[in-house]
Amino acid sequence: MASVTPDSEEIKNASTLLKAGQLVAFPTETVYGLGADASNADALARLYRVKGRPDTHPVIVHLASVDMLEKWAKTVPDEAYKLAEKLWPGPMTLILKKASHVSDAVSGGQDTVGLRIPSHPVALELLKEFGSGVAAPSANRHGKVSPTSAAHVKEELGDLVAKILDGGSCSVGIESTIIDLSGQERRILRPGMITIEEIEKILGKKKGKAKAKPEEVVPRAPGTLSSHYAPSTSLKLFSSSNLGRALATAENLSMKVAVMSFREPITCSVVVTWRQLPDNADEYARVLYSTLRELDDQGADYIIAEEPPQEAAWSGILDRLRRAANG
C-alpha cells in the first residue's frame, strides 16, 4: 500500500497541535508513537487517559538532537555519548538520571528519564519543529500490540487523537532497545533490534563478565509487564520440533488455529491461516506486529507460533513473542 509522506506544512501543523497540548500520533522507525508535549501536565494527563495506562508507568521522551540530552538528564555519562554517537538517531532508548524539571508523569515517579532520538525522517522533522521533548509511548491501548502503520493507529485510537501523521510502515517493527545507564552497572531493560553484542562492541564487555547472553536482559522497566504486546486471541509458542505435535493436539481438541512459522504452509484441517515468516531477524521483526494483528482477526481458537532461534539477533523478537504468549 502506497502511503503519502506528510509535507512540511502538515508537520508544522502537527507541531502546533502538540504545543496546544493535543495528542499527535507519528511514525518512528520502531513503532508509531502517541506524542504529547513532555513539559505540559494537561497533555500528559490526556495521553495517559487515551492510552488507558497506569500512571506509574514512565514514558520515553523523544528528542531531535544529542545536545538536548543535558536539558532532560541531570548527568550524562560518557557511555551515553558513546552509544549516542553510534546508534542515534535510531532504535535505542537510554535511561538516565532525570533533570529536576522532568515531571512524575514522565518518570513514573522515579528519579530517571528515558530518552530517544528516533531516525524516521517524519519523527525527526516533527521533533525539530517542536523544539523540545515529546513524550511518546507506542500508539496502542495499554497492553495491546504496538502499531506499525498509520492504519493500525487509526483502528486503535481513531478520533481520540488530534492528528495521525502517516509515514508508511515502520522499518524496524519492534520497540527500541532500552539501556539503563542511571545506576552503577549498565543494564538492558528491554531487548530490541540493537543487540547486546552491538552495545558491547561500543562500550566493551561489562567488567568481570564473559560474553553476555540474551537471558541476561533484566526486564525491570515498570512498563514491561509480562502480559504486554498481546493479541486478543491467545498465543502459544512451540519449538520447531514440537510444531507437528502442537497441530496434532489442536486436531484432537477440534480447535481452529492460526499459525506463524518459518516453514511452508502444511495443509491441515485445523489451520485457518498459515503465515510463513522470514528466517532473517530484521525482516521478521518488520512484519511481526502486523502478522499478530492479522492472525488475531482470523477467528482462531488460538495462535501457534514457532519459536525463533535462541540467538542475540532474535532476542528482542523472542521477548515480544513470550510476552504475547503470556497475554
Q: Does 31 bind ligand TXA (CB under 6 A)?
A: yes
Q: Give start and end residues of each alpha helix (H) in 253-297.
A: 281-296
The site that binds Mg ion (CB under 5 A) totals a number of residues, namely 1
Here the contacts of 67-71 (C-beta below 8 Å, separation 24 or greater) are 68/132, 68/133, 69/96, 69/115, 70/99, 71/99, 71/133
Contact pattern from residue 220 through residue 239 relative to ligand TXA, giving x for each residue in contact according to CB under 6 A and a dash for the rest: -xxxx---------------
Q: Which of 22, 28, 93, 138 binds Mg ion (CB under 5 A)?
A: 138
Here the contacts of 185-190 (C-beta below 8 Å, separation 24 or greater) are 186/79, 187/218, 187/220, 188/216, 188/217, 188/218, 189/95, 189/217, 189/218, 189/219, 189/220, 189/221, 189/224, 190/93, 190/217, 190/219, 190/221, 190/224, 190/316, 190/319
Stretch that binds Mg ion, among 60-68, 106-114, 131-139, 200-208 (CB under 5 A): 131-139
In the complex, minimum distance from the CB of residue 146 to Mg ion, in angstroms, rounded to a whole number: 5
Of the two residues 192 and 308, which places its CB atom closer to Mg ion in the complex?
192
Of the two residues 176 and 261, which places its CB atom closer to ligand TXA in the complex?
176
Q: Does 28 bind Mg ion (CB under 5 A)?
A: no
Q: Does 164 bind ligand TXA (CB under 6 A)?
A: no
Strands (E), 168-327: 177-180, 187-190, 234-238, 257-261, 271-276, 302-306
Q: Does 59 bind ligand TXA (CB under 6 A)?
A: yes
In the complex, minimum distance from the CB of residue 204 to Mg ion, in angstroms, rounded to a whole number: 30
Binding site for ligand TXA (CB under 6 A): 28, 30-31, 33, 57-60, 93, 95, 107, 110, 112-114, 116, 118, 136-138, 175-176, 178, 189-190, 221-224
